[in-house]
Amino acid sequence: MKPSLDSRLLSYVLAAAVSALPSFAASHAAPEPPDAPQPTGPSVNLSYVDRKVKPGDDFWEYANGEWIKRTPIPADRNATFPGMALVEQTDKRVADLITEAAKQGATADSKSRKIADLYNSFMDEAGVEAKGLKPLQPKLRAIADIRDKRELARALGKTLRADVDGLNNTNFHTENLFGLWVAPGFNDSEHYTAYLMQGGLQLPDREYYLSDSASMRDIRSKYQVHIAAMLKLAGFSETEARAARIVELEHAIAEKHISLADDNDIHKANNTWEASDFAAKAPGLDWPEYLHAAGLSQQKSFIVWQPTAFAGEAALVASTPLETWKDWMAFHLIEAHPAGLPKAFSDEAFAFYGKTLSGTLEQRVRWKRGVDLVNAYLGDDVGQLYVQRYFPPEVKAQVQVMVANIVAAFRKRIDGLAWMDAATKAEAQAKLDTLYVGVGYGESWHDYSNYEVKADDLYGNLWRGDLAEYQRQLAQLGKPIDRKEWSMTPQTINAVNLPLQNALNFPAAILQPPYFDPQAPAAANYGATGATIGHEISHTFDSEGAAFDSKGRVRNWWTPDDAAHFQASISRLATQYDAYRPFPDLALNGRQTLGENIADVAGVAAAYDAYKASLAGQPAPVQGGFSGDQQFFIAYAQSWADKSRDAALRQQVLTDTHSPGQYRALTVRNIDSWYAAFDVQAGEKLYLSPGERVRIW
């Protein structure tokens, strides 16, 4: 189970990842970033509410309808949401920190100088253009010189990189056939182990290759045109024929991949292979050559997450002509870092990934893409500067009180479960006893001393940055785990559950308006940030988290009757979400999003209990005619306000384990107190009878 990220910003994350690809402007100098719009609070924004909509018919529309009507999606985004002002503010703050580091020049310390050099290498567009294909050519020649399948295995192994994103097996390092993830072991939770993951696809998910829908056929056609264009820019001949063979190979790879729903089953993923097992279990690839080139020859065992995919992809190495594999490798190499290549590559990359795949109309301005780049490669160094300036200790203390209240609410809810045996309850409480909740920033920082940055070598910086992170993770293998290690930077506007560490991260940047406001009423803060905290805590007990014990080991700590009750409840929740249909031809997959939906239901329930407890018996202040309970639920629904372009929404439905925001807001259908707060009655569209409401924790 890889890190489970809150998808509040997933559309933005996808847009940022795409928009970091191209480079448009021609000026060498980095412009001063303009002042960003200021996010506003408190979290409950009454101007968003559409009072013409009945809460019991469409609560998301009721809480957000007026905002939806008046808010356009910016041309350089594939989605927007009320927290966009916070994103812009955070980008501006980080840009200011980078600019200050750059102004220090020769007097800067090594961290500040590295930050400035990386940023300046991205802003030096003229320098990138002048280098042309020179950074790429030696690597393309190395691929062209591959003579046989043994050398192919060696070349594939050399490009293996680490997956540090945890975003639903998204292939950010697609130049390799597989991916590496370093994390605490399923069965030895005290040490870091090597997980190998299916890979090799450039499009977001297997469904983009396998679906017969008109929209997917159109994307595949345009993808093939894009491949040919990128190969032509790199100087290849016969590009249309090469592109056709690459698409055919990736289609074959996609047929071997397992679905996202199956990918979420921890027990199916828990497959320990000794290094000597690969040749027999996945024949076709020269595994000793591959593992040696990847720096893994000393690793005795691996957890192979998708064994059928490994067997299928290895067989393709043997059955597919060498020249096709070489074309595939060359294309994926070109595709990995177009930002470090001439403008034509970046333009073509954005035309496909930005416009076609996500519906984004315009490229983001260059300084923002530079901020994304520095955050990606030197995030903790920037994060240290960020928290010193922008995260007051009193905010951290206030959030920690909320966390303590929500954990206490979970304890009470577990104790009050009539269906759960005492032994199972004790195990669940033990998970809460050992849960680490990080607020704001971590207790240690990543060391980037092995990362060489040059102010005049953008492509090299990108390549070396990936390699440095890979080497950092390799160095962790076999070592004792740090349960308090963070997977996010403080300036990240998101939150994460780390089940193998039994830990949560709530970065500083998300603990601001409109999600958290120290001056806002408790109802607003508990409904927005409190529900997010509850959501992440709930992952400890969702369909995946429930497979782990208090030490992060895969172990069944349930009695048979308790497990049966739990499975029956979550099956009902999956069925509930199967019924949601964003498009006439596309419904949600309740099994694919099950873990996140469980966390939403349990998280809102626990946050509501904690909110009521925080009042200590005192009445909640009324705001705009809304009671405290009404404010709590409106704040929750408003935290999921968003607007997405159709292409981006389709991509989310197909590739994300989170439901889109409008359906996450409808979690309230399962909460009894929501019915009382808004007097929701039978006959209204969202009404569920008490027996139909899903109650899990």
Q: Are residues 84 and 203 in the same domain?
A: no
Same domain for 604 and 641? yes
For residue 67, tell me if it sits in a domain.
yes
In a shared domain, residues 578 and 649? yes
The answer to whether residues 184 and 301 belong to one domain is yes
> What's the half-sphere exposure (Cβ side, CA atoms, 13 Å) at 643?
18
Indicate if 281 and 147 belong to the same structural domain: yes
Q: How far is CA 361 from CA 236, 336, 343, in A?
A: 29, 22, 18
* 375 and 337 belong to one structural domain: no
Cβ neighbors of 430 (< 8 A, separation 6 or more) are 549, 550
Domain annotation covers residue 471:
no
Cα–Cα distance, 202 to 182 (Å, whole number): 22
* pLDDT number for residue 542: 81
**CATH number, position 296:** 1.10.1380.10
**Which residues neighbour 331 within 8 Å (Cβ) at sequence distance 6 or greater?**
202, 227, 230, 231, 242, 243, 246
Model pLDDT, residue 104: 77
Q: Which residues pair with 197 in a beta bridge?
A: 179
In a domain, 224, yes or no: yes
The CA distance from 631 to 622, in Å, is 8
Q: Tell me, what DSSP letter sits at residue 191? A: B
d(CA 470, CA 591): 32
Would 683 be classed as within a structural domain? no
Q: Is residue 544 part of a domain?
A: yes
- State whether 489 and 536 are in the same domain: yes
pLDDT at 125: 95
Considering the domain architecture, whether residues 85 and 169 belong to the same structural domain is answered as no
Q: Structurally, how many domains does the chain consist of?
A: 2
Cis peptide before 42 (omega within 30 of 0): yes
Query: Does one domain contain both 337 and 386?
Result: no
The pLDDT score that the predictor gives to residue 376 is: 94
Whether residues 83 and 232 fall in one domain:
no
Task: For the chain, list residues with pLDDT below 70.
Answer: 1-43, 105-108, 163-175
Q: For residue 447, what pLDDT is reported?
A: 94
Does the residue 416 lie in any domain? yes
Per DSSP, the three-state class of 445 is coil
Question: What whole-number distance in Å separates Cα of residue 283 and Cα of residue 102?
Answer: 52
Does residue 508 lie within any of the structural domains? Answer: yes
Q: What is the pLDDT of residue 53?
A: 98
Distance of CA 266 to the CA centre of its chain: 18
Same domain, yes or no, for 329 and 391?
Answer: no
Helices (H), 3-145: 10-19, 59-70, 84-104, 110-123, 125-131, 137-144
Q: Is residue 116 situated within a structural domain?
A: no
With CA atoms as reference, report the closest residue to 451 among 397, 374, 503, 506: 374
Range of the domain at 502: 7-13+31-92+370-444+479-678
Residue 245 CA to residue 240 CA, distance in Å, equals 9
Distance of CA 4 to the CA centre of its chain: 7
CATH of the domain at 384: 3.40.390.10
516 plus 381 within the same structural domain: yes
What pLDDT was estimated at residue 1? Answer: 44
Asked if 222 contacts 356 with a C-beta cutoff of 8 angstroms, the reply is yes
pLDDT digits (tens, 9 = 90+) for 275-291: 999 999 999 999 999 99
